[in-house]
Chain A
Amino acid sequence: MMNRGEIQERILTVGNQLGLHARVATMMVQAMSNYSSQVTVIKDGVEVDARSVLGLLLLAATPGSQIVVRAQGPDSVQAIEAICKLVERNETDHN
C-alpha cells in the first residue's frame, strides 16, 4: 500500500475540444468533494487548487496541452484517477 504522505503525480493531456473549460472545471471541483487529499493542478509552472473553478480556468489549458495533477493524502490515487477521467476523455462538446 501507498505511504499516506507520499505525493502522487500524473501528467495528462487535455482532451476536450474546448480545453479545460467551465463544464470540466465544475465537474472536477464537484468530484473533489468526494476526496480528502490535497489536490493541485500544474501547468507551465503555475499551480492551482483543484477545488477552485477560477484557478482551473485561469490555467488556460487548451486542448492538447499538458497538465500535471499532484495529490497528497489518503485517497490521492483515487482523486487523480477521477481527474484523469474528466480531463482526458475526448468528448465532443457541441456548445
Chain B
Amino acid sequence: MKPTITDQKETGVASVDFENQTNLLLRGIAVSGGVAIGQSVVIERLTTEIAPRWLIALDEVPHEVQRFETAVHEAAERLKAIKSQIDAHHPLEDHAYILDTHILLLKDRMFYEGTKKYIASELVNAEWAVSETIARITVAFDTIEDEYLKERARDIHFVGERVLRILMGIASHTKIHQLPPNSIIVAHDLSPADTAQIKRDNVVGFAIDMGGKTSHTAIMARSLKIPAVTGLENLNRRAQTGDTIILDGSTGIVILNPDPETIFRYRGLRDVFRKYQDSLMTFGRLPAVTRDGRRSVRIMANVEFIDEIEIAVNHGSEGIGLFRTEYLFLGRKDLPSEAEQYEAYSRVLSYHKPNPVTIRTLDVGGDKIAANLNVPHESNPALGLRAIRLCLSRKDLFKTQLRAVLRASVHGNCRMLIPMISCLSELLATKEMIEEVKSELRAAGVAFDPSMKLGLLVEVPSAVAIADLLAKEVDFFSIGTNDLIQYALAIDRVNEQVNYLYDTLHPAVLRLIRHVASVGQARGISVAMCGEMAGDPVNVPILLGLGLDELSMHALAIPMVKKLIRSISMDECLDLTRQAFEMQDAREIHGFLERWIRDRFPHDYFVETPGASA
C-alpha cells in the first residue's frame, strides 16, 4: 500500500506541506479501533536479509553447529525471562502462550535440525544457515490460503531474528520498556516478545509496517484496547523518534507531523470514540426499545460454556437465548450423568433468575460424542443421525437429559429448545417423551416446573415450510440462522470452495425468516433468533422490521445492538425492510444496509463487531 495524499473532503486533513513534510498521510489496515495522538518511538529492527555469508571448511562444521546451538539456548533463556515477567494479572497473560510457541519454535526440528543440516551440507556459517532455513520455511507458509495461519510465518521470522542477533552480537533494539508517556510505537514489525515487554501505560498506539488483522500485535492491541494500524509498508523509515503522529485505528489512517488544526480535529474524534466506548457499557443495562417506543426486543446471550454467563450478565443480557449443552458431552468417553447435568443447568438457571434461560437439548452427531454410542459411519453427517434424531433413537441418553432439565427447571425461568426438527411427527414424539419423563417425575414425587416453555429451533427448511403446523405444538420458535442458511442455500460454510456463497442476507434467507415471523404472529407465539445473524448491527433493523421478538447473540455484541435499537425508529426499520425485499441479491442488500447504518451513525459504526472473526 503506497502512502497517498487525498483531498480534504475525504480525510479532513487540511493541506500537505511537502517542504516540512507536515500532514503526511498514510493508509494502512485498521486493526484496533480508536484514535491516538502522540509522539512516535521508532523501533529499529534488524532484518535477516543482511545476514553475512561465508564458507567454512569441513572441520569447522562442529564449531559452527555449536555456535548455533549456543545461540538457540541463549535465545530460549531470554524468552523464558521475558515470559516470567508476565504475571497472572498482566493484561497480556492470556497471550503469554505465544512466547511458549516461540520457545518451542527454537527447537522445532524444521528450524533446529534444518539449520544444522544446512551448515553441514552447504558448508556455510551459522548466520547464513539460519537466514536460509527461515526463508525456506517462509516459502512453505506462502502457499497457505488461510490468513491467520499464513501470518504465522512471522513467528518463525521473529525467532530466527532473535537467534541471528545473538550470533551477530547485536544488542537488542531500543529498550521498549522505558518509554516516555504518550508514545506511539512505530516499527517495521513487532514480535510478541517485544509487545510483552512494553510498559503499556505509556503506549497510546501502534503503527506497524507489516502484518494484517491477525498478526499478534493486532490481536494484543485489541485485547489491550490500544488503537493500532498495520500494513503501513514504510512508515518505519519515514518517521523519526519524537515526531508527532495521529493514528486512527478505526479507519487505518496515520498522519505524520500533523498541523495544529488537524490535531485539534482528531482530538475531538478521539474524545467521541472514548465517550462512545464508555457509553456502550451503559447501553447494556438499558432495555432495547426503539426510539419511538413502538417496539421492544428482548436481547439475550448465546452461551456455550457455563463460565460465560457472567460476561453475558455484565454486558446486559436479559436472559440466555441459547444455552448449548454439547460441552457437557464432548471430549469424554462416558456420558454425563443426570446429576452432573442437573447441577450445570441449575447453576445457569439460578444465576439468571428471573430471566429466561433457553436450554437446547443435545445438538451433535453421534460420531462426536462418547465412542460407546456405536454410531455407524455416515458419509454425510450434516444430513445424518444427529441432534433430535440421535436423541429419539437413543432414548436412554435423551431421557437422562430431559430429566435433568425438568428437575433443574424449578431453579429459574427454564425453557427447552429442540434442535433440527424437520417434521411434525418428530416433534410429537419428542413431546411424548417429555410427558413420559414428567409423569415419571410426578410418580417419584420429584419437583419440576409444569409450565416450562417448549420451543422449536427452526433450522431445517422443511420446518419453515410447515411452521403453521408446528406452531400449534410449541410455545415459541427460535430461528437458528447458522444451520438454516447452510441447509437452505446448500452451502457448507467451512468448505472453502463454496463458502463465498454463504450469504446471511440472501433474499431466500430473508423470505424464510419473514415466513416464520408471520406464522408466529398469526399463531400468537413469540419468535426469537439465536444465530450469528442476530448479533451483527447491519442486520438488526431488518430483523426488527420483520417483527422478531427476541435476539440472542454473542455477549460482547449486546451493548452495541441495544444502542442501535434505541437509536432507530420502527418506521425506519419497516422502510428498510420493504426496500430490502425489493432487491435482487445478497450483495445489493448488504451494501444497502451497510451504507444506511454508516450514513445514519457515522461516529458509531466504525467500531468493529466484537467477538466476530479474529
- Which residues does chain A contribute within 8 Å of B110, judged by CB atoms? 52, 54-55
Contact at A58–B141, with CB atoms within 8 Å? yes
Q: How many residues from A make CB contacts under 8 Å with B?
A: 34
Say yes or no: is B494 at the interface (Cβ < 8 Å to chain A).
yes
- Which residues does chain A contribute within 8 Å of B242, judged by CB atoms? none
Q: Within the assembled complex, what's the spacing in Å between the Cα atoms of A84 and B108? A: 22
Say yes or no: is A8 at the interface (Cβ < 8 Å to chain B).
no
- Which residues does chain A contribute within 8 Å of B368, judged by CB atoms? 13, 88
Say yes or no: is B567 at the interface (Cβ < 8 Å to chain A).
no
The one of A18, A49, A53, A57 in contact with B614, judged by C-beta atoms closer than 8 angstroms, is A18
The one of A30, A53, A63, A64 in contact with B105, judged by C-beta atoms closer than 8 angstroms, is A53
- Which residues does chain A contribute within 8 Å of B326, judged by CB atoms? 90
B57-107 with Cβ < 8 A to chain A: 95, 97-98, 100-101, 104-105
Contact at B330–A53, with CB atoms within 8 Å? no
- Which residues does chain B contribute within 8 Å of A92, judged by CB atoms? 304
Q: Within the assembled complex, what's the spacing in Å between the Cα atoms of A25 and B100? A: 11
Say yes or no: is B219 at the interface (Cβ < 8 Å to chain A).
yes
Contact at B614–A94, with CB atoms within 8 Å? yes
- Which residues does chain B contribute within 8 Å of A51, judged by CB atoms? 109
9-residue interface stretch from B33-41, B147-155, B351-359: B147-155
The one of A62, A63, A64, A90 in contact with B330, judged by C-beta atoms closer than 8 angstroms, is A90
- Which residues does chain B contribute within 8 Å of A38, judged by CB atoms? none
- Which residues does chain A contribute within 8 Å of B111, judged by CB atoms? 54
Q: Within the assembled complex, what's the spacing in Å between the Cα atoms of A17 and B613? A: 8
Q: Within the assembled complex, what's the spacing in Å between the Cα atoms of A36 and B368? A: 27
Of B111, B148, B149, which is in contact with the most chain A CB atoms at under 10 Å from its CB? Answer: B149
CB distance from A2 to the nearest CB of B (A): 15
CB distance from A14 to the nearest CB of B (A): 9
- Which residues does chain B contribute within 8 Å of A84, judged by CB atoms? 331
CB distance from B108 to the nearest CB of A (A): 5
The one of A58, A65, A89 in contact with B331, judged by C-beta atoms closer than 8 angstroms, is A89
Say yes or no: is B145 at the interface (Cβ < 8 Å to chain A).
yes
Of B97, B304, B610, which is in contact with the most chain A CB atoms at under 10 Å from its CB? Answer: B97
**Interface SS majority for chain B:** helix
Contact at B611–A49, with CB atoms within 8 Å? no
Say yes or no: is B140 at the interface (Cβ < 8 Å to chain A).
yes
State whether A88 and B149 are in contact (beta carbons under 8 Å apart), knowing that A52-B110, A94-B611 are contacts in the complex. Answer: no
Q: Within the assembled complex, what's the spacing in Å between the Cα atoms of A51 and B327? A: 27
State whether A62 and B101 are in contact (beta carbons under 8 Å apart), knowing that A22-B152, A89-B331, A94-B614 are contacts in the complex. Answer: no
Contact at B108–A64, with CB atoms within 8 Å? no
The one of B145, B327, B614 in contact with A95, judged by C-beta atoms closer than 8 angstroms, is B614
CB distance from A76 to the nearest CB of B (A): 16
B110-152 with Cβ < 8 A to chain A: 110-111, 137, 140-141, 144-146, 148-149, 152
Q: Within the assembled complex, what's the spacing in Å between the Cα atoms of A30 and B100? A: 9
CB distance from B356 to the nearest CB of A (A): 22
Contact at A53–B101, with CB atoms within 8 Å? yes
- Which residues does chain A contribute within 8 Å of B245, judged by CB atoms? none
Contact at A18–B148, with CB atoms within 8 Å? yes
Say yes or no: is B471 at the interface (Cβ < 8 Å to chain A).
no
Q: Return the chain B residue nearest A64 by Cβ.
A: B494
Return 28 A-B CB contacts under 8 Å, by A number.
Answer: A18-B148, A19-B149, A26-B97, A26-B100, A30-B100, A30-B104, A51-B109, A52-B109, A53-B101, A53-B108, A54-B105, A54-B108, A55-B110, A57-B141, A57-B149, A57-B152, A58-B144, A60-B144, A60-B149, A62-B149, A62-B494, A85-B331, A88-B330, A88-B331, A89-B330, A93-B614, A95-B95, A95-B223
**Residues of B that sit less than 8 Å from A by CB:** 95, 97-98, 100-101, 104-105, 108-111, 137, 140-141, 144-146, 148-149, 152, 155-156, 219, 222-223, 304, 326-327, 330-331, 368, 492, 494-496, 556, 610-611, 613-614
